[in-house]
Structure 1
Amino acid sequence: MRTLRSFGVVAAILVLVFSCKEPDPKSSPDTRPNIVFIMSDDHGYQAISAYSDKLIQTPNIDRIANEGMLFTHASVTNSICAPSRAVILTGKHSHINGKIDNLTPFDTTNVTFPQLLQKAGYQTAMFGKLHFGNNPKGFDEFKILPGQGDYYNPEFITQKGDTTIAGYVTDITTDLTLDWLKNRRKKDKPFLLMYLHKAPHRSWLPKEKYYKEYTKKTFPLPATLFDDYSTRGTAARTAEMGILKHMTLVYDDKLTPETMKVLGLKDWNDLPPHLGRLTPAERASWDSVYGPINEEFKKLYPSMNDSTLTVWKYQRYMQDYLGTIASVDENVGRLLDYLDKNDLSKNTLVVYTSDQGFYLGEHGWFDKRFMYNESFKTPLLIRWPNVIKPGITEDELVQNLDFAETFLDIAGVDIPSDMQGKSLVPLLKGEKDKWDRDAVYYHYYEYPAEHAVKRHYGIATKDYKLIHFYFDVDEWELYDRKKDTLEIHNVYDDPSYAPVVKEMKQKLKDIREKYKDSDSLSNHYIQIYRDKGLIK
């Protein structure tokens, strides 16, 4: 009996040992979900028809929402390009990852979620616009634009050196992405694919077929195009992003220096440098469309006043801005079609977002930076078949701070304790009872600098938004987000809102402590500007 028992024990141990061995990848392929992260640059949610169809139809981007989830309260922690991307990669606020603005370098000792996914067995690739750093960590392959990159015939940085590729940047980024999927994707491994568009970043150069189409369009004016900021403080009144005063006729609206000379106008006297990359044939086509626009302006300008000039500049802005988005939508469709046709969609999470929101004439502005809604809110659409029920709208407060944690969670990778966001997986699975966030935090640093938006931090709930502008001012603003959706009435000094102010200030204090931000850190970053000679 002892012999039989001993044999039984040994057999059980052997079964346990062999069952704990690493599975043979040939017999047990890794079935963790693939992740496709699509991000455009400065794509306001107002220019996605899943959010609003007043300006443009984006049927391919809308597919992600129709087949998945549309977030209505997605926001950023710092509405400016490179810092937003650093937050996405690290899962940490700007004051923690150190990338507070477009001027400071990214600290490459930061651990990013692609590094962790790569280490965990994911194949990783990045194509398009990263905006900072020439050698992103955690990628098996990358082809990225240097800095802002060019719209036409752009250069790309690769592991094998720089190369120039003929064509239009949005098409090329998609070609590179599809080439990787077709020819170098390892079918026995899950993948992280970051597909990052330059468009619709300034100076908004559309592809030929779209500038020929969109320059013929007229768009509805935003309700606050002629905002006079009478209920706001110094920050709104002094920002340098007004369509009338700060949008340039040459660089932005594509008038020629010759037109400016004829009319006796002064402006930036250079066309966008991207135009210098057009081939003679491409430039001839461009001139055949934008030449007549110049001639028309010469006739109209003598009778224009500030209002009519603002409207003219707004229409030119929308024609080119939305024309670049038309290419993005077309190419998102190409990628989605490939995933669908090659049996990849069912096990692939697809995310569409932007690095922040953007002003499309609201408050008379272009650009971003403020915590006001059009800049603070960012589009977020996620498709995950067999997990997300199609056609869901989610109104919980989420941020770009949450992407890293979400992707790690989906991959079954431990989330580092120093990451500051929350995995969105409970929301994606419809488990809202597991979501407990009631406020989000924001902090903008890049001042004094381009567009002159003052430093500020703040907190937003679904009902209210409290903002503190600091450094060379000390001003507070409070907005009732449900009663004042346009955010034109600052009620901070309204006695009836005194209890709200008190409550929101306490929430702000608590959330700053939670995320380890403070006035001393703000002063530290101000000192960095002084050390660089940017401020006295």
Structure 2
Amino acid sequence: NTPFCYWWGPTNTHRSWERGSGKALWGLEPDDLKGRLPGFLPDVHDIREDVADSLGECQAVDAGLGVLIQRLEEIGELDNTLIVVSGDHGIPGFPRGKCNLYDIGCEVTLAARWPNNIPAGRTVEDFVNLMDLAPTFLEAAGADIPDTMTGKSLLPVLKSDQSGLVDPDRTFVITGRERHVGTAREGQLPYPQRAIRTADFLYIHNFAPDRWPMGDPQGLDDLHAEAPSAEDLTGKTFIAYPDMDASPTKSYMILHRAEQDVQELFEIGFGKRPQEELYDLRVDPHYMNNIAADPEYDPIRKELSTTLMQILREQSDPRLVESPCRFEHAPYAGPVED
């Protein structure tokens, strides 16, 4: 009868995974995905297979979760246990995925089960952040939530019997990025970004648009430069654009980057980005058309930018309140000093 907390951290959905495993192990036919990939990915077999393999790893996680649920049932604790399933970032090894502030890089599963406490069968549209989980668990356990926590407990949302938007204050989420691979750029510099996502819009502020968002290209920004082999691009992350995990998709897009059908998508995924990005997700769900400079959307851009910067200042984000910013210097960036 002793209370317990168990953290399960499967790495299945992290690179690398066996090529062709989605079909071999889970019966996922890659070409069934034809016409279903996001618009920023070339719709070719190699990339469909990569996506199918990723989905297979998701099913492997589901299977592992099933083992844990079965064990809880065997010991009579299933209905007395709060189960929360989530993740820390989006799909790796794909343009705009992990290490980006677009939906495919940030959006993760959040599912919760706690019979007699959480009404089942609902889909909730409130915006939440991983930081919200810690105060949620503390409140569920009857413990005090420290004042220093900036996350907000999800328990009122979870215990509600409503679907859709439950908490009227949860209409947006703030995301940010500084550094992923330390050596991705010369001088070990970060790629600082902050973003605000609402139901209809995604606004991103890139603080250093002169830098390469996916890491230094090692000459591959020249569309006609000789590229490493497909094998190396598939297996060696640091060979070029190190902030994107090595993968068949990364390999395909680099090797075919000069082709007419791939060139624009390569630039979207690997090229430099302007200081501001704005996407109307109602008409552009794959965030392909940056409308930050469109006069029609200027009021929206200003509103989202103002809200984002105000919250960052309230939270004392070093990018806004420090000059020079600590993230540009050791120990966060640059060579480590003796």
TM normalised by structure 2 equals 0.68
Taking the aligned partners of 2:19 and 2:181, their CA distance within structure 1 comes to: 31
Alpha-carbon distance, 1:450 to partner: 6.9
Matched, 1:500 2:300: yes
Distance in 2, matches of 1:490 and 1:533, equals: 35
Check the 8 A contact 2:23/2:29 in 1, yes or no: no
Choose from 139, 150, 153 the match for 1:409: 139
Change (3 A) 1:223 1:206: closer
Residues 223 and 492 of structure 1: CA distance in aligned 2, closer, same or farther (over 3 Å): farther
**Structure 1 ranges of 4+ moved more than 6 A:** 206-210, 450-453
Unaligned residue ranges in structure 2 (runs of 5+):
211-273
1:519 to 313, 320, 333: 320
Query: Are 1:368 and 2:98 matched, yes or no?
Result: yes
**CA RMSD after TM alignment:** 3.2
Corresponding residue number in structure 1 for 2:116: 386
Secondary structure at 1:506's aligned position in 2? helix
Q: How does 1:127-138 map to 2 (within 5 A)?
A: none
Check if 1:479 corresponds to 2:258: no
1:238-317 matched pairs, under 5 angstroms: 311-317=44-50
Larger radius of gyration: 1
Deviation (angstroms), 1:448: 7.3
Structure scoring higher RCO (CA < 8 A, sep ≥ 6) equals 1
2:7 is aligned with 1:194: yes
Q: Distance in 2 between matches of 1:223 and 1:476?
A: 28
Specify which structure has the higher proportion of strand: 1
Counterpart among 140, 155, 174 of residue 441 in structure 1 = 174
Q: What displacement does 1:409 show?
A: 0.7
Relative to 1, partners in 2 of residues 1:198 and 1:468: Cα closer, same or farther, differing over 3 Å?
same
Shift of 1:359: 6.0
SS in 1 for 2:82: strand
Structure 1 equivalent of residue 148 of structure 2: 418
Q: CA 1:477–1:415 in 2, change beyond 3 Å: closer, same or farther? A: same
Q: Which amino acid in the other structure matches residue 320 of structure 2?
A: D
Q: What is the aligned partner in structure 1 of residue 65 from structure 2?
A: 332
Q: Cα offset for 1:443?
A: 1.2
Change (3 A) 1:531 1:203: closer
State the Cα distance separating 1:449 from its structure 2 match: 5.0
Confirm or deny: 8 A CA contact 1:219 1:318 kept in the other structure.
no
The secondary structure found in structure 2 opposite 1:392 is: coil
CA displacement 1:385-430 (0-9 Å, x = unmatched) = 0111110110011110101010001111111111110000010111
- Of 452, 457, 468, which residue of structure 1 is paired with 2:205? 468
Aligned counterparts of 2:173 and 2:138: Cα–Cα separation in 1: 21
The whole-number CA distance in structure 2 between the counterparts of 1:425 and 1:485 is 30
Matched residue SS, 1:313: helix
Distance 1:501 1:195, change over 3 A: same
Deviations 1:135-164 (A, max 9, x none): xxxxxxxxxxxxxxxxxxxxxxxxxxxxxx
Q: Does 1:205 find its partner at 2:18?
A: yes
Any idea what SS the aligned residue of 1:468 has? strand
Residue 335 of structure 2 corresponds to 533
SS in 1 for 2:90: coil
- Give the TM-score normalised by structure 1: 0.44
Percentage of identical aligned residues: 28
Q: In the superposition, relative to structure 1, how do residues 219 and 515 fare at CA in structure 2: closer, same or farther (>3 Å)?
A: farther
* Equivalent residues of 1:210, 1:326 under 8 A apart: no
Q: CA deviation at 1:221?
A: 3.6
Structure 2 Cα separation of the partners of residues 200 and 369 of structure 1:
15
- CA distance in 1 between counterparts of 2:22 and 2:99 reads 31
Q: Assess if the C-alpha contact under 8 Å between 1:401 and 1:421 holds in 2.
A: yes
Q: How does 1:451-466 map to 2 (within 5 A)?
A: 454-466=191-203
